[in-house]
């Protein structure tokens, strides 16, 4: 479901400039247009802008292309390559540029500061600059200073509106957010932010106003907490493997406690993407900077970093030296083409380094192809698995959940299927003649028939526990 509002067909919303038209800027810009505002999305990346101006979307996000097309046609969404042009008449200028990790894990604010400098001279007096990029506490205050310095006076507001959307479900997350957090330190800026989100508030979505520095910290604390849930369940998964338990049942059991909640408890290859890894590093670094260390997050970062190597080792150990391995999935999660800090890419790199012949499939491989060398790409997962000694599912694409296991087994030479997203039923894998190595669940390795015992595969399989 797109979540796009039907009630806001008017063209007369607030004038909004969105600086940075990436996964967050373009999605937020299109959604703000869909709730009735006049939005100009601006990006200095010429390639991205060319695609946008031609009516396309320069990355894959379900439903976004249709949404931008509708908003362009409705006259509410336009594009610009010049931040100073986009910002000139705006009531609110959102900054949604990248905030990557610096070499020491702290946040690199250079794109935010450059955007602030670029728009500062042209802002209307009384306009509000809104930081949508994920930034550490105190950044809005720094941006306020930069703008005041460039303008020679303090006549614009700077607030915060952190974004919580996830790639792959970005539109729905924006339109049906659990809450919208707006941070402002002046009534005029708070009132503008409230007006921007009024159409969502009218639909019952809580729009929560707070001080700017609180809004900045809410974003980091939220991402750190969610990442902790994943790190925790991955440790529980390790324990389940040793104790003969099933992490999915354990997660389901604890998740029914409303105090815990059942989301973000899926064990897997560790968290990746453009946010959790860099945001946990920045959060830890911010804590160290303020003399308020975050030891839980420090431990989480280490645990998540080492997980990929240890999961790669399991595959290497079951593949003959120099053997062939097929990897299904390269993006950091399903329904995106994004490979930033993808656990799959890191595992692939370990496999290549171990001297294996690595064949990869992903339904949206363009960015992955550019990011990784030394592997062979395939358009079809079964083709990737042809003659493979081992196969590893690393991303939870629906296509892999529904894969024809008999065709997979027929294509392979070996029988080991690593399922690091727990998509495959053990009985189904065994019935197809495959041994299944899942995460946090008992391995489903078919008992080998003992010579002379008369026990064939069929009888042995019947003894496997039902799930
Ligand atoms: P992105 O790299 O996809 O997009 C950033 C865009 O900003 C790029 O296209 C870049 O060319 C453009 N840009 C940089 N400097 C500019 C300038 N001076 N003027 C105009 N454009 C400029 O990044 P993203 O994934 O959209 O993330 C943006 C911010 O949002 C980050 O702080 C990120 O942490 C945060 N965030 C991301 C997500 C997500 O799921 N990707 C979710 C929530 C928050
Ligand atoms: C995340 C946050 O969820 C979002 O609020 C924020 O705005 C941006 O960062 P995103 O990175 O798009 O969103 O994806 P998300 O669904 O959160 O997954 C992040 C990583 O955690 C992925 O690698 C995913 O596979 C992993 N994950 C997620 C798990 O391993 N288990 C889970 O239960 C959930």
Query: In this predicted model, what pLDDT tens digit does every residue of 428-454 receive, in sequence order?
Result: 999 999 999 999 999 999 987 766 554
Contact 143, 107 (CB under 8 A): no
Q: Which of 18, 25, 216 to mutate to test the pocket of ligand 1 (most atoms within 8 A of CB)?
A: 25
Q: Once rounded to an integer, what is the mean pLDDT over residues 94-113?
A: 96
φ, ψ (nearest 5 deg) of residue 366: -55, -50
Is 25 touching ligand 1 by the criterion CB < 6 Å? yes
pLDDT value at 466 more than 80: no
Terminal alpha carbon distance of the chain: 32
Tokens of 271: 């968290």
- In the block, tokens 């420090």 appear at 298
**CA–CA dist 32, 197 (Å, integer):** 8
pLDDT value at 426 more than 80: yes
pLDDT value at 462 more than 50: no
Q: Once rounded to an integer, what is the mean pLDDT over residues 173-177?
A: 98
Comparison of pLDDT for 317 and 463, the residue scoring more = 317
- In the block, tokens 């705006």 appear at 90
pLDDT value at 124 more than 70: yes
Does 275 qualify as catalytic in the annotation?
yes
* 6 contacts: CB under 8 Å, gap ≥ 6: none
DSSP character at residue 187: H
**CA–CA dist 118, 82 (Å, integer):** 9
Positive or negative, the CA dihedral 28, 29, 34, 39 is positive
Which pLDDT belongs to residue 447?
86
pTM (predicted TM-score)? 0.93
Comparison of pLDDT for 455 and 390, the residue scoring more = 390
Q: Burial level of 244, CB count in 10 A (0-12/13-18/19+)?
A: exposed
Q: Whose CA is nearest to atom 25 of ligand 2?
A: 333
Q: Which atom of ligand 1 is nearest to the CA of 59?
A: 3
Q: Quote the ligand 1 centre to 254 CA distance (angstroms).
A: 35
Neighbours of 232 (CB within 10 A): 18
Is 273 touching ligand 2 by the criterion CB < 6 Å? yes
Contact 337, 302 (CB under 8 A): no
Percent of the chain whose pLDDT exceeds 90: 93
Q: 412 in helix, strand or coil?
A: coil
Alpha carbon distances (Å) from 338 to 13, 362, 420: 32, 11, 19
Average pLDDT, rounded, for the chain? 94
pLDDT value at 163 more than 80: yes
* Among 186, 199, 196, residue whose Cα is nearest residue 161: 196
Query: In this predicted model, what pLDDT tens digit does every residue of 348-388 receive, in sequence order?
Result: 999 999 999 999 999 999 999 999 999 999 999 999 999 99
Counting every residue written for the chain, the total comes to: 467
Q: Which atom of ligand 2 is nearest to the CA of 272?
A: 23
* Among 408, 409, 437, 405, residue whose Cα is nearest residue 421: 437
**CA–CA dist 95, 24 (Å, integer):** 10
Query: In this predicted model, what pLDDT tens digit does every residue of 13-42 receive, in sequence order?
Result: 999 999 999 999 999 999 999 999 999 999
**CA–CA dist 87, 121 (Å, integer):** 10
Query: In this predicted model, what pLDDT tens digit does every residue of 57-101 receive, in sequence order?
Result: 999 999 999 999 999 999 999 999 999 999 999 999 999 999 999
Which pLDDT belongs to residue 12?
62
Which pLDDT belongs to residue 187?
97
Is 266 touching ligand 2 by the criterion CB < 6 Å? yes
- HEC letters along 258-276: CCCCCCCCCCCCCCCCCCH
Which pLDDT belongs to residue 5?
33
Contact 279, 220 (CB under 8 A): yes
Which pLDDT belongs to residue 456?
39
Half-sphere exposure in the Cβ direction for 381 (13 Å, CA): 25
Is 118 touching ligand 1 by the criterion CB < 6 Å? yes
Is 231 touching ligand 2 by the criterion CB < 6 Å? no
Query: In this predicted model, what pLDDT tens digit does every residue of 190-215 receive, in sequence order?
Result: 999 999 999 999 999 999 999 999 99
**CA–CA dist 88, 17 (Å, integer):** 9
pLDDT value at 259 more than 60: yes
Q: Which of 160, 179, 226, 347 to mutate to test the pocket of ligand 2 (most atoms within 8 A of CB)?
A: 226
* Among 307, 399, 317, residue whose Cα is nearest residue 346: 307
Which pLDDT belongs to residue 451?
65
Tokens of 425: 């039923």
């Amino acid at each position: 479901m797109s979540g796009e509002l039907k009630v806001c067909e008017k063209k007369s919303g607030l004038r909004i400039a969105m600086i940075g038209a990436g996964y967050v800027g373009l999605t937020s810009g299109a959604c703000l247009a869909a709730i009735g505002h006049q939005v100009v999305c601006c990006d200095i990346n010429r390639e991205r802008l060319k695609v946008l101006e031609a009516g396309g979307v320069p990355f894959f996000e379900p439903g976004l292309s249709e949404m931008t097309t509708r908003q362009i046609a409705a006259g509410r969404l336009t594009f610009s390559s010049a931040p100073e042009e986009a910002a000139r008449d705006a009531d609110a200028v959102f900054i949604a540029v990248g905030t990557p990790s610096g070499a020491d894990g702290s946040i690199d604010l250079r794109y935010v500061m450059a955007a602030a400098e670029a728009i500062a001279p042209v802002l209307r007096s009384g306009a509000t600059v809104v930081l949508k990029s994920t930034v550490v506490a105190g950044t809005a205050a720094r941006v306020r200073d930069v703008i005041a310095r460039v303008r020679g006076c303090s006549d614009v507001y700077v607030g915060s509106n952190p974004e919580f959307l996830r790639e792959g479900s970005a539109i729905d997350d924006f339109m049906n957010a659990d809450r919208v957090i707006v941070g402002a330190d002046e009534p005029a800026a708070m009132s503008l932010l409230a007006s921007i989100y009024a159409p969502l508030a009218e639909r019952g979505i809580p729009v929560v106003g707070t001080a700017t520095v609180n809004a900045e910290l809410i974003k980091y604390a939220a991402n750190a907490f969610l990442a902790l849930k994943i790190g925790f369940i991955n440790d529980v998964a390790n324990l389940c493997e040793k104790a003969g338990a099933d992490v999915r049942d354990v997660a389901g059991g604890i998740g029914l406690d409303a105090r815990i909640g059942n989301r973000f408890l899926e064990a897997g290859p560790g968290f990746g993407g453009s946010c959790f890894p860099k945001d946990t590093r920045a959060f830890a670094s911010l804590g160290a900077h303020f003399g308020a260390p975050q030891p839980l997050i420090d431990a989480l970062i280490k645990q998540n970093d080492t997980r990929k190597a240890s999961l790669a080792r399991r595959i290497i150990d079951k593949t003959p030296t120099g053997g062939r391995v097929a990897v299904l999935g390269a993006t950091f999660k399903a329904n995106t083409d994004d490979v930033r800090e993808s656990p799959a890419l890191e595992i692939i790199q370990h496999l290549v380094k171990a001297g294996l012949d690595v064949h990869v499939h992903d339904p949206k491989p363009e960015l992955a192809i550019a990011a990784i060398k030394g592997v062979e790409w395939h358009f079809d997962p079964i083709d990737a698995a042809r003659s493979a000694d081992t196969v590893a599912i690393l991303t939870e694409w629906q296509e892999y959940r529904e894969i024809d296991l008999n065709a997979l087994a027929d294509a392979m030479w070996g029988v080991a299927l690593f399922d690091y997203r727990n998509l495959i039923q053990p009985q189904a894998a065994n019935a197809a003649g495959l041994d299944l190595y899942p995460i946090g669940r008992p391995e489903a390795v078919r008992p080998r028939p003992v010579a002379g015992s008369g026990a064939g595969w069929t009888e042995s399989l019947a003894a496997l526990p039902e799930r």
